[in-house]
Amino acid sequence: MSERKVALITGATRGIGKEIALELAQNGFDIAVNYRSMQEGMEDLKKEIEEYGVRCEFVGADVANFEQCESMVKETVEKFGKIDILVNNAGITKDGLIMRMKKEDFEAVIDINLIGTFNVTRNVIPYMIKQKSGRIINVSSVVGVAGNAGQTNYSASKAGIIGFTKSLAKEVASRNILVNAIAPGFIDTDMTKVLSDNVKEGINVQIPLRRMGSPKEVAKVVKFLASEDSSYITGQVINIDGGMVM
Ligand code: NAP
């Protein structure tokens, strides 16, 4: 069994998830990187993580598929001996106004963002209960807190994650498992690269700090929630949004 703490991060081959993997690696965690599809640069990511003197393994699964999550969690425990930190980060958007939104687009976002969070957590929880410790950090969004026109599906999935986080936090606190959510605002990743300059300018006006956040600024908060420094925090939603939602 690994002597270091082990973190499983979903959707960690790019964007916020990748930065969380690097930040936790830098702080001495062994890293299980979940991926859905093989990406260019995965070997470089492994090298970068290992340069911090920790282990890195890739564990594949589509988080929307319960059986694949079950195998992924088993594989992670076989490889590292345990899971101390779970970061439910994998997520997608399929935006559109309700009048034009297809049922498939609503379902796809709920399946990956919300049910995916359940699928991985449900499989990890028995191990955490047995070891009487664990941290679960769920990636929600300011859109789950405040809503956003054109994102009923995404907003419902991210608000669902908040309810899930609070209920689970109450359920497992007695087992020394802490469960929190983060609610990033607009962060510079592939997910937001698709927005036009006009839309980005419109967004920046709504942000008191007048800029998008970086994946690093999100990863630093996840590191805090994974560390001993946050030992009396559970069931919380921490906004990382430049003051967008107060
Ligand atoms: P991103 O750059 O699009 O990356 C998303 C990651 O999730 C990718 O690694 C992707 O893998 C993975 N993923 C998607 N569906 C998956 C599935 N079914 N199974 C496993 N992995 C899957 O997005 P991001 O901006 O880093 O977002 C990460 C999280 O932060 C998401 O939950 C998102 O909702 C949340 N968030 C983002 C922002 C923002 O402004 N960027 C703001 C608030 C919250 P593939 O490469 O295989 O697609």
What pLDDT, in 10s, does the model give residues 167-226?
999 999 999 999 999 999 999 999 998 888 888 888 899 999 999 999 999 999 999 999
User: Ligand 1: distance of its center to the CA of 28 in Å?
Assistant: 24
Q: Whose Cα sits closest to atom 10 in ligand 1?
A: 11
Give pTM, 2 decimals: 0.98
Cβ atoms < 10 Å from Cβ of 114: 24
d(CA 145, CA 176): 27
Active site residue 232: no
CA angle 124, 74, 139 (to 5 degrees): 35
Q: Whose Cα sits closest to atom 19 in ligand 1?
A: 62
Per-residue pLDDT reduced to its tens digit, 128-169: 999 999 999 999 999 999 999 999 999 999 999 999 999 999
Of 70, 92, 118, which is best to mutate to test ligand 1, by the most ligand atoms within 8 angstroms of its C-beta? 92
Q: Is the CB of 5 under 6 A from ligand 1?
A: no
User: Ligand 1: distance of its center to the CA of 46 in Å?
Assistant: 19
Atom of ligand 1 nearest to the CA of 62: 19
User: Ligand 1: distance of its center to the CA of 211 in Å?
Assistant: 20
- For residues 116 and 88, the answer to whether their CB atoms sit within 8 Å is yes
